[in-house]
Structure 1
């Protein structure tokens, strides 16, 4: 539904040109929640602003339902933008307007009849759980409630696409979780395509179907949540995954381990409940020592991550490793090179 085709966006500053987005190829499918993650300055916010043409690409194409956004007329662009909602990190609410009028604002701009505006605003406020706050002003709301108003306003025009630019960065963890649950509800009940920009891997883990990792304006890795968590290839992806999995072994512990064989064993789907390591200890003449362990959920499926050391004869350990590779993902963490 949303496609970036070799998209580059350059900016000039004091006679120097730099590429905030550099030859990005991405496709976001209809009805999915797609995340774009990167550190500050990676180009992710510029990327999302290219979707609704708040920024125009220097080269390449941004296509929505196959239509090149840079080729549409100004009138057509306004029509397309009404089908693209956007929510922001700092809410961007009108402080002198009530919750009702904040949500009604895009409908009023579009010239919708007052009766239709009232019906739609009441419907959306009920959906986001703010019916009892309709006559409140923004300064009477919590951060989570303000963001719910922002979501309601973005949904007012019945968009097919929702863009979220760091929508949870200003919120505490508990409120973040409630907002992410609301966004899932938005996708599930309205079949809206959601593109989320964030620097928080927990947000990606909780809500996204697929993710792209950006660095220096480029997409350095992209794929399903399972693939990126189980086998992150790029160093930047590995850093982000590390913030969630928290499975780095302290050097003091590694220095005390005498064995050559330390591995990360990743269990996904049905394998998370299988006694793979227990079977290894029974079938092979070796010792298995778990240094770290964690089981979490990714997209409502169990995901296990263990750091283990194997102690025993080299040949026996190699046989055990081959056995494990047939059932789960296993990656070397440490070797002394022998």
Structure 2
């Protein structure tokens, strides 16, 4: 559906050259909700703008629906772009136009018949829950309602791809959740491929199928949401995951690590899926001559999967503790020793 091959993008000025995208290779499958996450300046928006060719790449290929945009004429690119809808962070609505007129605008520009325009606009406003607001103006709407208008407008020409550029970052958490559920509904009912750019891992965790993590113009990690959340491979991914998983060490744990009279056999355990329901800790305590103290713990629900996080302390003979640790290392969990430098 969307593929980037050896993609590079540079921005040149008199003083310097900014290498915004570096050797991007990524494939987004038809029907996916795909998230791209990264901090400001990571290259997320540049990558998104290459999909709808607002930014032509410096080199490499951008393939959309089997067509390499770098090999097309301007007219052919316009044809491809008709199948791509765009949802913006700050809505980009025409304040002097009604809700109806804003949604109708792409159809008017496409010179569709008036009756067909009305039929399509009414259908979309009902779909996004704004059937009673068609004669309102943007200034009369809440932020969430404005974004629903923006989404309806993006869907007007029946695109096969929807690009969302920080579509929820200007909204409060409750409104964000409702907009994300609307996007999920669009994906499921209209079978539209959605590419989401965000700096919020909570957005990714709620509706995305797969995610790519960007840093300094490169993709440093890619996988299913479950893969990236359960076993992040890079420090940047781990930091993003921590914002959702709440696995940062509490101040009380840091104080314990500083104490000189503690055994310091402190470990972090992460459980996934059905493992969160297993009485593994009690089994280990019974199997080996050790006491286990749970210092901290929580369980997070992620797209129907449970993620458990525990910080435990082993108390007992060093040999028995090591036997218990060896046993745990052979289970389907993630075990990591916690040191005084933990953060």
TM-score range, shorter chain: over 0.9
Shift of 1:335: 4.5
Find the aligned partners of 2:307 and 2:44 in 1 and give their Cα distance. Answer: 27
Once the two structures are overlaid, the 10-residue window that deviates more, 313-322 or 285-294, is 313-322
Task: Indicate yes or no: 2:192 matched with 1:192.
Answer: yes
Residue 307 of structure 1, aligned match among 286, 311, 319? 311
Shift of 1:66: 2.5
| TM-score calculated relative to the size of structure 2 | 0.94
The runs of 5 or more residues in structure 1 that have no matched partner are none
Once the two structures are overlaid, the 10-residue window that deviates more, 316-325 or 116-125, is 316-325
Shift of 1:336: 7.7
Task: Indicate yes or no: 2:182 matched with 1:178.
Answer: no
Shift of 1:68: 0.6
2:28 equivalent in structure 1: 28
Superposed CA offset, 1:234-267 (max 9, x none) = 1111111122222222322422382333222122
Find the aligned partners of 2:179 and 2:106 in 1 and give their Cα distance. Answer: 21
Once the two structures are overlaid, the 10-residue window that deviates more, 14-23 or 153-162, is 14-23
Superposed CA offset, 1:278-329 (max 9, x none) = 2112222112222221212222222222222222223322322233233332
Number of equivalenced pairs? 337
Find the aligned partners of 1:108 and 1:247 in 2 and give their Cα distance. Answer: 51
8 Å Cα contact 1:265-1:328 kept in structure 2: no
Find the aligned partners of 2:226 and 2:320 in 1 and give their Cα distance. Answer: 31
1:150-229 correspondence runs (5 A): 150-229=150-229
Residue 317 of structure 1, aligned match among 312, 318, 321? 321
Shift of 1:51: 0.4
Find the aligned partners of 2:306 and 2:4 in 1 and give their Cα distance. Answer: 32
8 Å Cα contact 1:125-1:152 kept in structure 2: yes
RMSD: 1.6
Shift of 1:129: 0.5
Task: Indicate yes or no: 2:294 matched with 1:294.
Answer: no
The runs of 5 or more residues in structure 2 that have no matched partner are none
Residue 254 of structure 1, aligned match among 254, 257, 263? 257
| SS across alignment from 1:171 | coil
